[in-house]
Amino acid sequence: MNVVVCVKQIPDPADPGALDPNTKTLKRDGKLILDESDSYGVEMALQLVDAAGSGEVTLVSMAPNGEVSGLRTALAMGAAKAVLVSDDALAGSDALGTSKVLAKAIARAGEADLILTATESSDGYTGTVPEQIAELLQLPSVTFAKEIAVDGSTLKVQRQTEAGYDEVECPLPAVVSVTAGVVEPRYPSFKGIMAAKSKPVDQVTIADLGIDAASVGWAGAGQEIVEIAQAEAREAGTIIEDDGEAFAQVVKFLDDLKVV
Amino acid sequence: MAISKIWVFAESLEGKASNTSLELLTKARELADTVEVVAADGAAIAAQVGAYGATKVHNVSVDASKLHGSAIAGAIAEAVNAGNGPDVILTATSYTGRDVAGRLSVRVDAPVITNVVDLVEKDGALAGVEPVFGGSTDVYTKFTSGKVGIFLVRPKSFAAEESGGGAAEVAELAIPDLGATGTPVVTNRFVEEKTGPSLDDAAVVVAGGRGLGEKDKYEMIETLAKLLNAAPGASRAIVDAGWVPYSYQIGQTGKVVKPTVYIAAGISGATQHLVGMKGSKNIIAINKDPEAPIFSVADLGIVGDVHKVLPKVIEALQSR
C-alpha cells in the first residue's frame, strides 16, 4: 500500500508571527519546521503501510527556497521519499493555488492508494485544501478522520461529527484529512535521523509540473488583502495573585453575575 | 456595493436548520436584495428559513446515507457555471460546510475566503474579516477574480433575527454526475453521550488546559461545570493529548463560544484558543504564569495554582 502525505513546513509557532507590511502575508523568512498537525498523518500513514506489509510513504510539500528541514523530520520518522515543489512564482499562492500545485505533485509522486492531509495547517488554517485536492484529482474524500482502516480496496474511516462520529466507507484511492491528536506521532530515532539525510527529495519547479505561473502565486490568487487593522481590545481586567483566598474573588464574581 | 443575490448553504438536523444557518441568513438579508438557501433537507426547513428572510430553497436531493459535500458543491457549481448562480455564497465553518466550500472552489475555479467573522464593504466590494494572532489583528480580504464569492463564516459571528417572512418556495437543484467523488457512504452514526448544556448554548463554560497537569484532574472541570450548570470545554493541548474528546475543543479548530461567563483553568491562552472564546462577555482566568496571554483578555485573572484555587471554589459552591 502506497500512501502520500501532504505536509507543510511552517514558521515555528513558538515564535510570534508577523505580517509583512508590503505583501500583507505571513512572514516566512525564518527557519521552517514540520507543522505538528501533519505529524499525525505521517504517523497514520506509517502504521497503515506497516499493517499492509508492503508499500511506502511518500511526502509531498510546497515551500519557499527549497526548504527541507521539516521534510527531514518526517523522513526521519520513516517516510521513504519526498516531492518538494519550490518556485519563486509560488509566493502569494492562496489555498486553491496551493491545491493545484499539490495535486500535480501527488500525481508525480507515483500511484497512491491513499492521500493523507491534516485538517488544516497551523499557520494558514483555511481548512479547504484537502477537499480542493480531492476535487482536482476527482477522488472521494473523508475529512476529519480519527481512525482509518483499510479492508482490501475499501477504506473505513471514523469521521468526527458535531455529535460524535460517523463510520464512513469509500473505495480507494481516496483523500483523507486526519484530525490532530488521534495517534501518537513517533519520535525519530537516531538511526532514522541519519537515514533521513540520504533519502531522496525530488525538488521540482512549477514548469516541471506543467503548471502555468499565472494560475498560482500572487497572479493566481483571486483574492486580495485590502486592510489590516487592530482589533478592538478588551478592557483590562483585575489581575490578582492567589494568597490562598483568591477563590473568594471568583465566587463573588460569579455571584455578581448571578450565574450561581 | 451591489450584491443582488446571496445563497446560504443551510445545514439541518432532524428537520431543523442549524443556528449558524440562521445567523448567515440574517446577515445576508442586510447585504443583498435576494437571499436564497441551498439545502439537503429543503422542504423540511422551508418555513423556518423563510422566517429568516430566504425566499427560495434550492433543494439538493442527496442520498441521506452519503457524505453531502460533493453533491451539494456539484449542484451549486452547475448553477453557477450555467450563469444561474448567486453573486455570493455563504457557508458555515462546519464539517460539511468546509467540504462544500473546498469542492465548490475547484468546480467554479474561484477561491474561498475562510475563518470569516464579519462581512463589510471595502472599496466597493464585499470583504471578509478574519481575526489573526489570537484576535488582536483583523485582516480584511476581498475577491478580485470577478467570480462568485465563496465565504466560510465562523459560527456565532452574527445574531440570528427573524424577518417575519413566509415559507420559502422550494425548487430542485440537480446534482451532476459526481463520479468517484460521490461514493463515501455513512454506515453507522455514533452519538457521544453528554449531559448538561452544550458548549453552543451554555451561559457558563468551564474549560481546562495543560495546566491541569494530568488527565484525572479534568474531573475538577466537570465538577465545577456541574455546579454552575455549565458546559465543560478544553484547550487543543489536552484534546491532542487525548484527555477529552475533540467535541470539547474550544478555539481555532473546534468550537467558538460566547457565554456570559467563561472560566479558563490552566489554559495559557495560545492564539488558537483565544479566537474561540474571546467573544465571551466575562472571562475568568486561573493560571500559574503571570505572563500567560490569557490574562490579556481576562476580566478577573487569578495568578495561582489551579490545583489550589479550583477545589476551594468548588467547596465554596458546594457548601451553599
How far, in Å, CA of A145 to CA of A96, rounded?
Answer: 22
Distance from CA of A255 to the nearest CA of B (A): 10
Q: What ipTM goes with this model?
A: 0.92
Q: Name the residue with cell 467563561.
A: B262
Same domain, B108 and B245: no
Residue of B nearest to A36 (CA): B240
What does the pLDDT average to over A57-62?
A: 98
Same domain, B154 and B211: no
User: Does the beta-carbon distance from B179 to A138 stay under 8 Å?
Assistant: yes
With 80 as the cut, is the pLDDT of residue B135 above it? no
Interface test with B, best of A25, A115, A121, A135 (most B CBs within 10 A): A135
User: Does the beta-carbon distance from B190 to A164 stay under 8 Å?
Assistant: yes
What does the pLDDT average to over A220-226?
A: 90
The whole-number pLDDT of residue A16 equals 64
Same domain, B145 and B74: yes
My answer on whether omega of the bond before B245 falls inside 30° of 0, hence cis, is no
Backbone angle region of A45, left / alpha / beta, with phi > 0 → left and psi within -120 to 50 → alpha: alpha
Cite the DSSP H helix spans in chain A: 36-52, 69-77, 95-108, 129-136, 190-196, 217-220, 246-256
Return the sign of the alpha-carbon dihedral for residues B59, B63, B65, B67.
negative
With pLDDT > 90 as the criterion, what percentage of chain B qualifies? 84
With 70 as the cut, is the pLDDT of residue B307 above it? yes
Interface test with A, best of B21, B100, B132 (most A CBs within 10 A): B132
How far, in Å, CA of A15 to CA of B3, rounded?
Answer: 41
* Residue B138: HSE in the Cβ half-sphere, 13 Å Cα cutoff: 15
The whole-number pLDDT of residue A164 equals 85
Q: Treating both helix axes as pointing N-terminal to C-terminal, what angle do A95-108 and B95-107 enclose, rounded to 10 degrees?
A: 80
Same domain, B156 and B24: yes
Chain B residue numbers touching A228 (CB-CB < 8 A): 137-140
For residue B310, what is its C-alpha cell? 479550583
Instruction: Confirm or reject contact between A234 and chain B (CB < 8 A).
Output: yes
Has residue B190 been placed in a domain? no
Chain B residue numbers touching A149 (CB-CB < 8 A): none
Q: CA nearest B117: which of B71, B151, B150, B162?
A: B151
Could you list the beta-strand ranges (E) of A63-186. Answer: 81-85, 114-118, 141-151, 154-160, 164-171, 174-178
The whole-number pLDDT of residue B294 equals 95
User: Does the beta-carbon distance from B110 to A222 stay under 8 Å?
Assistant: yes
Instruction: Confirm or reject contact between A259 and chain B (CB < 8 A).
Output: yes
With 90 as the cut, is the pLDDT of residue A100 above it? yes
Domain of residue B300, CATH code:
3.40.50.1220
Of B148, B182, B216, which residue sits at a domain end? B182
Chain B residue numbers touching A227 (CB-CB < 8 A): 122, 127, 139-140
Residue of A nearest to B131 (CA): A231
For residue A226, what is its C-alpha cell? 485590502
What does the pLDDT average to over B257-277?
A: 93
CB A125 within 8 A of CB B115: yes
Residue of B nearest to A234 (CA): B297
Same domain, B159 and B216: no
What does the pLDDT average to over B305-319?
A: 96
Instruction: Confirm or reject contact between A12 and chain B (CB < 8 A).
Output: no
Has residue B253 been placed in a domain? yes
Instruction: Confirm or reject contact between A21 and chain B (CB < 8 A).
Output: no
Same domain, B252 and B312: yes
* Angle at B133 (CA atoms; ends B127, B134), nearest 5 degrees: 100
Same domain, B157 and B267: no
Has residue B55 been placed in a domain? yes
Nearest to B103 among A131, A239, A249 (CB): A131
How far, in Å, CA of B116 to CA of B140, rounded?
Answer: 9
Greater confidence (B162 vs A125) lies with: B162
Greater confidence (A170 vs A31) lies with: A170
Same domain, B159 and B230: no
Has residue B191 been placed in a domain? no
Interface test with B, best of A94, A225, A238, A254 (most B CBs within 10 A): A254
For residue B276, what is its C-alpha cell? 474561540
Beta bridge partners of A59: A5, A82
User: Does the beta-carbon distance from B106 to A250 stay under 8 Å?
Assistant: no
Ordered DSSP codes for B51-96: HTT--EEEE----TTB-SHHHHHHHHHHHHHTT-S-SEEEEESSHH
With 80 as the cut, is the pLDDT of residue A125 above it? yes
With 70 as the cut, is the pLDDT of residue B1 above it? no
How far, in Å, CA of A142 to CA of B67, rounded?
Answer: 8
The whole-number pLDDT of residue B111 equals 96
Instruction: Confirm or reject contact between A134 and chain B (CB < 8 A).
Output: yes
Chain B residue numbers touching A94 (CB-CB < 8 A): 111
Lowest-pLDDT range of B46-60, B99-113, B180-194: B180-194
Beta bridge partners of A115: A4, A175
For residue B41, what is its C-alpha cell? 433537507
How far, in Å, CA of A256 to CA of B314, rounded?
Answer: 17
Report the amino acid identity of residue A153.
Answer: S
The whole-number pLDDT of residue B304 equals 96
Distance from CA of B144 to the nearest CA of A (A): 5
φ, ψ for residue B22 (rounded to 5)?
-70, -35
The whole-number pLDDT of residue B139 equals 93
CB contact set of A71 (below 8 Å; sequence gap of 6+) = A7, A9, A34, A59, A61, A82, A84, A201
Nearest to B191 among A164, A246, A247 (CB): A164
Domain covering A2-220 in this structure, CATH number: 3.40.50.620
Domain that holds residue B70: 5-182
Has residue B199 been placed in a domain? no
Q: How far is CA B257 from CA B90, B239, B249, in A?
A: 20, 17, 10
The whole-number pLDDT of residue B181 equals 97
Has residue B26 been placed in a domain? yes
CB B302 within 8 A of CB B309: yes
Has residue B189 been placed in a domain? no
Chain A residue numbers touching B272 (CB-CB < 8 A): 122
User: What is the rounded average pLDDT for all residues in chain B?
Assistant: 94
Distance from CA of A224 to the nearest CA of B (A): 5
CB B127 within 8 A of CB B141: yes
Of B151, B182, B213, which residue sits at a domain end? B182
Domain boundaries, chain A: 2-220
Same domain, B239 and B160: no
Domain of residue B177, CATH code:
3.40.50.620
A-B contacts at Cβ under 8 angstroms: 270
Same domain, B150 and B268: no
Q: How far is CA B77 from CA A174, B85, B95, B113, in A?
A: 22, 8, 19, 17
What confidence tier does A21 reach under pLDDT thresholds 50, 70, 90? confident
Chain A residue numbers touching B278 (CB-CB < 8 A): 234
With 80 as the cut, is the pLDDT of residue A38 above it? yes
Beta-sheet pairing, B16-17 with B12-13:
antiparallel
User: Does the beta-carbon distance from B114 to A234 stay under 8 Å?
Assistant: no
User: What is the rounded average pLDDT for all residues in chain A?
Assistant: 93
Q: For chain B, what is the domain count? A: 2
Which pLDDT tens digit goes with each residue over B2-24? 789 999 999 998 899 999 999 99
Interface test with B, best of A15, A153, A239 (most B CBs within 10 A): A239
Distance from CA of B218 to the nearest CA of A (A): 17
For residue A243, what is its C-alpha cell? 494568597
Which pLDDT tens digit goes with each residue over A170-191? 999 999 999 988 899 999 999 9
What confidence tier does A123 reach under pLDDT thresholds 50, 70, 90? confident
